[in-house]
Amino acid sequence: MDKILVIEDDKLLAENLVILLESEGYNVRLANNGVEGLDSITKNIPDLIICDINMPQMDGFELKEKLNNSKITFDIPLLFLTAKTQISELRQGMLLGADDYIFKPYNSDELVSIVKLRLGRRKDIEDKIKFSFVEKDRTYNVKDTFLVKGQKKSRVVKISDIKLIKADVQYSEIVVTNNKKLVMRVSLNEWELKLPGEIFKRVHKSTIVNFNFVEFHFTEKGKYFLKVKNWEESVSISRRKYYSLKFK
């Protein structure tokens, strides 16, 4: 049974949400504010969080920032519940990695559909995860390699063989020289700390590229792209990165 945590300071709204979600077969817990919510998450990790934005003590954005900073909680799907629709607020939530917005007053069928969609996507991603870092291994203490553990066996990956890394929410797909892919539960922020910054550049919020494999860059219909060696797809570059990395 999927576990959902509702964090909402409006008592009536919170209780109605709990009743609705329990009627759909979910195991639902309730917290009255961000501080209580964070404590509840720490004690019992939920499969999905529905969180109000404007709350006393700790608002939804601050809670999401704290979740992002933990390897245990950074990838929990989070839906922001809000009565506001300002573009700046929407952008802030999406930049923090919010999975969706639910606007008050919400439509019950819509809310349930969004919850099912996000839980389904999380399961799909988890089914694809095949590798994880062997953090404490000392066998391959080489600057240009790291050891990953698969479902059946472990393997050594050369950092210099990584062509690019693409993110899907907080998971990442690593493409190596033979175009084989490793799917790992590692965020791009964590990759930026592990990889040499003089070679690996984040060219988009969802992509890191090994510049030793970059053949050329180009523009198309006002958008910016890289061509990576022996990789069919063009890699998108954000406008800000295009100019900060001095492609012009």
pLDDT digits (tens, 9 = 90+) for 78-112: 999 887 666 667 777 777 777 888 888 889 999 99
pLDDT at 128 over 80: no
Do 75 and 154 lie in a common domain?
Answer: no
Do 88 and 151 lie in a common domain?
Answer: no
Confidence of residue 141 (pLDDT cuts 50, 70, 90): very low
Q: Which residues are CB-contacts of 138 (< 8 A; sequence separation ≥ 6)?
A: none
Report the chain's mean pLDDT, rounded to a whole number: 85
Do 123 and 9 lie in a common domain?
Answer: yes
Pairing of strands 200-204, 181-184: unpaired
pTM of the model: 0.61
Do 41 and 22 lie in a common domain?
Answer: yes
Question: What total number of domains does the chain contain?
Answer: 2
pLDDT at 138 over 50: no
Confidence of residue 162 (pLDDT cuts 50, 70, 90): very high
Q: Where are the alpha helices (DSSP H) in 183-228?
A: 188-194
Give pairs for 94-103: CB < 8 Å, separation 24+. 96/61, 96/64, 96/65, 96/68, 97/64, 97/68, 97/169, 97/170, 98/64, 99/169, 102/50
Pairing of strands 162-168, 171-176: antiparallel
What pLDDT does 167 receive? 84
CA 103 to chain centroid, in Å, comes to: 22
Q: What pLDDT, in 10s, does the model give residues 198-247?
A: 999 999 988 999 999 999 999 998 899 999 999 989 999 998 888 888 76
Where in the sequence is the domain holding 117, given as residue range(s)? Answer: 3-128
Do 108 and 148 lie in a common domain?
Answer: no
Task: Copy the structure tokens of residue 92.
Answer: 């802030």
Identity of the amino acid at 240:
R
Do 155 and 86 lie in a common domain?
Answer: no
